[in-house]
Amino acid sequence: MNEIQKKKTITIVIDWVILIAILGIDAITSKIPPFERQFKLDDVTISHPHKGDTIKMVPMVVVSLIVTGIIITAFSMKNFSKYNYHQALFGCLFAVSISTLFAHVIKTLAGRYRPDFMSVCNVDFEKVEQLFSTYNVSSTISYGPRNLYNTTICKTPREELFEERKSFPSGHSSFIFSVMTYLSFYIAGQIHLMDRKSFIWKYLVVALPYLVAIMVALSRVFDYRHHWQDVTIGSLIGLFFGVVTYYYYFPSLTSIKSKLPFQRFDSYIKSNGISCNYHLKSSLMALLLELFFPFGVGHLYSGKTLLAIIKFILFNTIYCICVFSFHNIQ
């Protein structure tokens, strides 16, 4: 094994150690009791019937990851590269793990009650009367503390109510949107969606994962397991990490190299005929360039207008800074 291969193997091992650590933190945070809010007995937003889950978490996780893995494997069969295949799969797992971590932490800190909380709580009205009578005021007066309770008035054991206090944000939504967003962008890169040829079948194929994600997210609302705000924020968390993770591992969808993940070492890049522009986009600066130049870096060289010249100068200035900084770090 040459020096480049050793470096690559070491960095991949480090990646897996970090991923496993994040998954371990995910498991730990899922067991931490959430913040306990007070609630009112006449709060209609948490008084819906308990219906259960139309789409259960474990089957959803297993099926979505298997389907994503099969699709990535199918695209990787042509011109197979173990490194490229690994990066594509690893990116998906990282998007899922990091979005799940954020969702778990927010759930624990927020402690919002689910829409079906009162049904699961099974209120002990004798305790309610006892607590209500402790306030030595007229029964005709209704004010805040007198009408606020916690899970001590529930007949259901408090440990069984932990999940009922984890409504915000939706874990189902954050998970499925992180997976489906990553998968959608991956497919888009493999079929060159942004090649300006406007094949409608490409558009539809890339949109299908989002249809699946939306269906899962909406099921959480009509199952009365989440409020619409929970689903919205959960979906945005998954969407954010799906997009950021994809662009962390792959170039712009407008790039001619959109099929290939970023490579980690200059010698590997040169030996495989990958341009310096492609290597540049593996840095964090690439994300900024994508925001300022959404139509691809290559288009900076195609115009003769004053704007194109300004962009050309700006791009090359940033490029030199990035290369200089990269070699100093090395």
pLDDT at 303 over 70: no
3-7 — which CB contacts under 8 Å span 24+ positions? 4/265, 4/267, 4/268, 7/264, 7/265
Compute the mean pLDDT over every residue in the chain, rounded to the nearest whole number: 81
Q: What is the pLDDT of residues 132-156, one digit of tens each?
A: 777 655 555 555 556 788 888 898 8
Helix (H) or strand (E) holding 64: helix 57-76
Confidence of residue 302 (pLDDT cuts 50, 70, 90): very low
Distinct helix (H) and strand (E) counts, the chain:
12, 0
Lowest mean pLDDT among 28-37, 175-184, 231-240: 28-37
Non-local CB neighbours of 59 within 8 Å, separated by 6+ positions: none
For the segment 157-182, the average pLDDT, to the nearest whole number, is: 93
Under 8 Å between Cβ of 23 and 97: yes
Q: What is the pLDDT of residues 254-289, one digit of tens each?
A: 888 888 888 876 444 444 444 444 444 444 444 444
**Ramachandran assignment for 48, one of left (phi > 0), alpha (psi -120 to 50 degrees), beta (any other):** beta
The pLDDT value recorded for residue 108 is 94
Under 8 Å between Cβ of 264 and 202: no
Separation CA 208–CA 66 (nearest Å): 16
Here the tokens at position 152 are: 């001590």
Q: What is the pLDDT of residues 81-93, one digit of tens each?
A: 888 999 999 999 9
The pLDDT value recorded for residue 318 is 57
Separation CA 301–CA 297 (nearest Å): 8
Here the tokens at position 33 are: 């009791």
For the segment 284-299, the average pLDDT, to the nearest whole number, is: 46
